[in-house]
Amino acid sequence: MSLKYESQIREPLVNGSKDYHQITEDIVRPIEAKPTRLWYIGFFTAVALLLFGVYSVYREVVYGVGEWNLNKTVGWGWDITNFVWWVGIGHAGTLISAILLLFRQGWRTGVNRAAEAMTIFAVMCAGQFPIFHMGRVWMAFFVLPYPNTRGPLWVNFNSPLLWDVFAISTYFTVSLLFWYSGLLPDFATVRDRAKTKLRKLLYGVASFGWTGSTKHWQRHESLSLVLAGLSTPLVLSVHTIVSFDFATSVIPGWHTTIFPPYFVAGAIFSGFAMVQTLMVVIRKVFGLQDYITIGHIEAMNKVIVLTGSIVGIAYLTELFMAWYSQSKYEGYAFFYSRANLFSPYGWSYWGMMACNVLIPQIFWSRKLRRNLFITFFMSILVNVGMWFERFVIIVTSIYRDYLPSSWSVYYSPSIWEIGFYLGTFGLFFTCFFLFAKYFPTIAIAEIKYVLKTTGEEYKDKMDNLEAEDVEAFAHKHAH
Amino acid sequence: MAKKKFVVGCFDKEELLFPAVKKVRTVGYKIKDVYTPYPVHGLDQAIGMRETSLHTAGFIYGLLGTITALGCISWIFTKDWPLDIGGKPHFALPAWIPIIFELTVLFSAVGMVLTFCYLSQLAPFVKKHHFHARATDDLFVLVIECTETTNTDEAESFLSNNGSIEVKTEIAEDGWWFGRYDKEEKLFESNSVVA
């Protein structure tokens, strides 16, 4: 038994009086019940959006990227904005499951499964944008280095865009493996209590024949720990490499050495916001308030205010450096194209500042951190703000090229570019609705593992033990 | 694998499981395995299981990834097709670090997961014997493998006297697995029975 003493100051992670069986019941219930009407409405709305996205992409494949209103000056528009936005969102899951595992943050157990699922779906959405941005998408496989009949002509290993190919595909693969290996025991739990033959068969296949053997658990623990150790630098590397796409160029506004940490902080910021959006809904719809407690929500809001402030410092540093360098091109990019509210895209810069830096400061208040409505509202606002951030970085840096003759007329997306973006929402939510219905949305085994140290009922029993010798207590109760 | 006879005891509390495991080993029964709904820390040592060296495998796979990436890129850019990029060196190590790192992580993660599945004999459609359906829910299932000298009735009453809430005797057979049809897995330390 994993009994380690936990201070009374810490909030319980599992509320109410639970035993192991009750945990199984609570978490598996949505899988075994018939989907509600709300689920069908949500699912089919998502599928409809997805289909609209498919049609938008079809238009782009047939007519080319001009269909998106991109031109020779604004070559990266909404598409790359959306790519960076989705990849950023895809950072929270692996951060929660890997970095917080290494930091021994117990509260990760309640939210890691859904957050990892979100990560995987978000990276799937992100991947669509650079692939279709290539224009001739049927040649997308040219980005892979393989001995070919064209020379062989290799890819450019010195290019940040190729680093991205490796980073994103590695990140997707490793996150998927991490997530699925964690799912094996929980699928086995669903399989072993299945009442219908079909469910038994499907979850039997999905669980790979998991038995719960001590040897398997021993290896599983070792696997999770090493995967967490590997994923930790991986998470940081992915958005670092995405930022290299910009930082290694010589475009004023992109040519900045603070991009890697600034991008990583922004990614965590937006990722946690998306986790909040989903968690606030899931815990309510599935009645999982005992497992995703207000304490969990508060912990994530703390991460949001921290990373939001880091991002704020980065914005100010950029402005300072633009002034300090006395480069007129840097100055133009930062003080005209961005910070001047009355420049063509000034609204996006100030929208970003408001949503990312100013408004999240309300989370210094404990009362507001623990308010579900505020949390939900803020999570949406942060994601809008983070979308603005990527739009600001990309479009305001390039819409006025060095020569006024190369200035673009006001770039705004076409309906098909917006449709593509909406389509990725469709993809994301289609996957997420299926996940919520057919997968255990909370890691059952991990909750059981922390139950006796952090469950409300068990913590209460330890109430009068604070006075006792902690060592003696642990010796008596732990094995 | 041949059919074998097992005595199964189910516990509903970890507090009872650990003393029971100790007694079972003291008496000299051969533990096949303990099936638990979550990873019970210290149980592997308590039943005398060997440490896993999966992490070492992970390290080797990672190294393999590093070597593959470095080897391939440097061969391609210095020997097979050297590109002149602004007169910069062909062997541009700093620019290759991101890809070398990513492939290290990729090889290590994929290799470890495949090794984990291979060693634990986990794969879709693999048939396994499950001693108790509640082992993945709320029971800790201790399984004793019968030898020629084991008296099943004695073993059963021994388990129930030590806190087991349910006991039974079962005959089971392991499923097929790559190249292991007639071989025993060596999961335990050689001196797994406490004297």
Q: What is the pLDDT of residues A23-42, one digit of tens each?
A: 888 888 888 888 888 899 99
DSSP state for residue B183 in the 8-state scheme: P
> CATH number for the domain including A221?
1.20.1630.10
Predicted confidence band at A2 (pLDDT cuts at 50, 70, 90)? very low
> Is residue A463, in this structure, part of any structural domain at all?
no
- Alpha-helical regions (H) of B53-144: 54-74, 93-119
Closest approach of chain B CAs to the CA of A473, in angstroms? 14
A168 interaction partners in chain B (CB closer than 8 Å) = none
Is the pLDDT at A214 greater than 60? The verdict is yes
> Is residue A472, in this structure, part of any structural domain at all?
no
Q: What is the pLDDT of residues A249-282, one digit of tens each?
A: 988 989 888 999 999 999 999 999 999 999 999 8
Query: Model pTM?
Result: 0.91
Residue in chain B closest to A444 (alpha carbons) equals B38
A167 interaction partners in chain B (CB closer than 8 Å) = 98, 102
Is the pLDDT at A390 greater than 80? The verdict is yes
Domains located in chain B, CATH noted: 1-40+140-186 (3.30.70.260), 54-119 (no CATH)
Query: ipTM for the complex?
Result: 0.91
Residue in chain A closest to B18 (alpha carbons) equals A479
> Is residue A3, in this structure, part of any structural domain at all?
no
Number of domains composing chain A: 1
> Is residue A90, in this structure, part of any structural domain at all?
yes
Of A152, A214, A221, the CB nearest to B33: A214
Instruction: Give the CA angle between residues A290, A452, A457 to the nearest 5°.
Output: 55
Please name which of A433, A414, A341, A473 lies closest in space to residue A40, comparing C-alpha atoms. A433
Domain that holds residue A35: 20-145+155-455
> Is residue A4, in this structure, part of any structural domain at all?
no
Question: Which of A102-111, A299-308, A311-320 is predicted least confidently?
Answer: A102-111
Q: Residue B3: its pLDDT value, please?
A: 80
Farthest-apart Cα atoms in chain A, separation? 80
In the predicted model, residues of chain B with pLDDT beneath 50 are 194-195
Instruction: Summarize chain A as % helix, strand, coil (round to 5).
Output: 75, 0, 25
**CA distance linking residue A142 with residue A148, whole number of Å:** 10
Is the pLDDT at A177 greater than 90? The verdict is yes
Burial class (CB in 10 A: 0-12, 13-18, 19+), B91: exposed
Average pLDDT for A136-148: 90
> Is residue A474, in this structure, part of any structural domain at all?
no
Average pLDDT for A79-84: 94
B116 interaction partners in chain A (CB closer than 8 Å) = 181, 219-220, 223
> Is residue A431, in this structure, part of any structural domain at all?
yes
Residue A154 and residue B76: Cβ atoms within 8 Å? yes
What's CA A166's distance to the chain center, in Å?
19
Of A151, A157, A160, the CB nearest to B96: A157
Residue in chain A closest to B186 (alpha carbons) equals A215
CB of A454 closer than 8 Å to CB of A71: no
> Is residue A468, in this structure, part of any structural domain at all?
no
Residue A449 and residue B54: Cβ atoms within 8 Å? no
